[in-house]
């Protein structure tokens, strides 16, 4: 199994908390749009306004997404999927940066 983790750093502004909520709701529905996702978890920061100066070696994210895929091939195909493209369009005006990684989770249970 492959676990994909994405940490979304939101654009600052007056709509920050509304944007965090909207993105979290969208991510929670993502498995309905992409059948290769076998498990999903979305969490939001308890400190959404926390930020670091531009160029700092540390960054703070406001939304965390964990999704599991049954196979490496399914995980590799996800970035080009219609569901991922739709997520990119939906979040373009509210997300500053996404940091992501995939790793093997043979010793873990699905989320």
Domain boundaries, position 22: 2-52+62-104
Q: Is residue 111 situated within a structural domain? A: no
Q: How far is it, in rounded angstroms, from Cα 99 to Cα 78?
A: 15
Residue 40: both structure tokens together: 């999903």
Q: Is residue 57 situated within a structural domain? A: no
Q: Is residue 110 situated within a structural domain? A: no
Q: Is residue 6 situated within a structural domain? A: yes
Give the chain's end-to-end CA distance (angstroms, integer): 11
What is the per-residue pLDDT across 52-93, written as a single tens digit (0 to 9) for each?
888 888 889 999 999 999 999 999 999 999 999 999 999 999
Q: Which residues touch 49 (CB under 8 Å, ≥6 apart)?
A: 16
Q: How far is it, in rounded angstroms, from Cα 21 to Cα 8?
A: 12
In angstroms, the Cα distances linking 22 to 16, 42, 104, 111 are 10, 12, 29, 22
What is the per-residue pLDDT across 18-44, written as a single tens digit (0 to 9) for each?
999 999 999 999 999 999 999 999 999
Q: Is residue 100 situated within a structural domain? A: yes
Residue 111: pLDDT band (50, 70, 90) is low
Q: What per-residue confidence (pLDDT) applies to 75?
A: 96
Triad 101, 105, 106: Cα angle to 5°: 155
Q: How far is it, in rounded angstroms, from Cα 37 to Cα 67?
A: 6
For the domain that residue 35 is a member of, what is the CATH number?
Answer: 3.30.70.100
Residue among 28, 34, 18 at smallest CA distance from 77: 34
What total of structural domains would you count in the chain?
1
Q: What per-residue confidence (pLDDT) applies to 105?
A: 85
């Amino acid at each position: 199994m492959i676990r994909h983790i994405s940490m979304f750093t939101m654009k600052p502004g007056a709509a920050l908390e509304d944007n965090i909520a909207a993105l979290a709701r969208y991510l929670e529905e993502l498995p309905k749009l992409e059948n290769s996702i076998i498990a999903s978890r979305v969490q939001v920061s308890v400190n959404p306004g926390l930020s670091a100066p531009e160029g700092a070696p540390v960054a703070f994210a406001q939304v965390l997404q964990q999704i599991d895929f049954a196979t490496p091939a399914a995980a590799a195909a996800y970035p080009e999927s219609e569901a991922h493209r739709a997520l990119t369009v939906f979040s373009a005006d509210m997300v500053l940066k996404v940091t992501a990684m995939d790793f093997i989770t043979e010793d873990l249970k699905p989320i």
